[in-house]
Amino acid sequence: MSTMERLQRNGIQRYDRMTEFFREENIPLSFETRSGMWEITDSNDPDVVLYVMDADSASAEANIIDLGIAGDATIGVLESCARFILIVNKMDNPNWSSESFHIISDRATSELQRDGVNIKKFNSVAVSALHGDNIIQKSGDPMWRTLVQTLDLESIL
């Protein structure tokens, strides 16, 4: 039985319930790209932090504020990571607006710096997870790098 069939049989349709299911079933949370195998884990000393923000202006504002009040534990994790990738989701809603993307990315970077977080390598990527745009394959606009391409970037290793 495929993983998708197992998820459906267990009534799991939301991403936030998938990790719990995978753990209970002892299914590794991993994927492979050109640069190698990536494993998704809870860690106090991560190699890469992926932070997902909503492109909607109100949600983005709340997420940026959350970055600032995340607490000492989160700040400690961020300081120990070598790479931080900001994923700006729902970019189809502002019609892939470069201006919206850069405002969100710049504000998040400023907030992290204001909190004294010194991330060695910071990158951001625009996606529309609902449609699968810019996660593995490009959305059609060559300006936007995919999440997988961002993970594989040597410049942020």
> How far, CA to CA in Å, does 107 sit from each of 64, 79, 151?
7, 18, 22
What pTM was estimated for this model as a whole?
Answer: 0.73
Report the number of distinct structural domains present in the chain. Answer: 2
Q: Taking the C-alpha atoms of 32, 98, 95 and 119 in order, what is their torsion angle to the nearest 10 degrees?
A: 40
Token readout for 146 is 């995919």
Q: Could you report the per-residue pLDDT of 92-121, keeping only the tens digit for each? A: 888 889 998 998 888 888 877 777 777 778
Q: Are residues 144 and 93 in the same domain?
A: yes
Angle at 97 between CA 118 and CA 133, to 5 degrees: 85
**Which three-class secondary structure state does DSSP give residue 132?**
coil
Q: Could you report the per-residue pLDDT of 43-77, keeping only the tens digit for each? A: 677 778 888 888 876 555 655 555 554 555 466 66
Report the CATH number that the domain containing residue 76 is assigned in CATH: 3.40.50.300
For 69, the domain range is 45-156
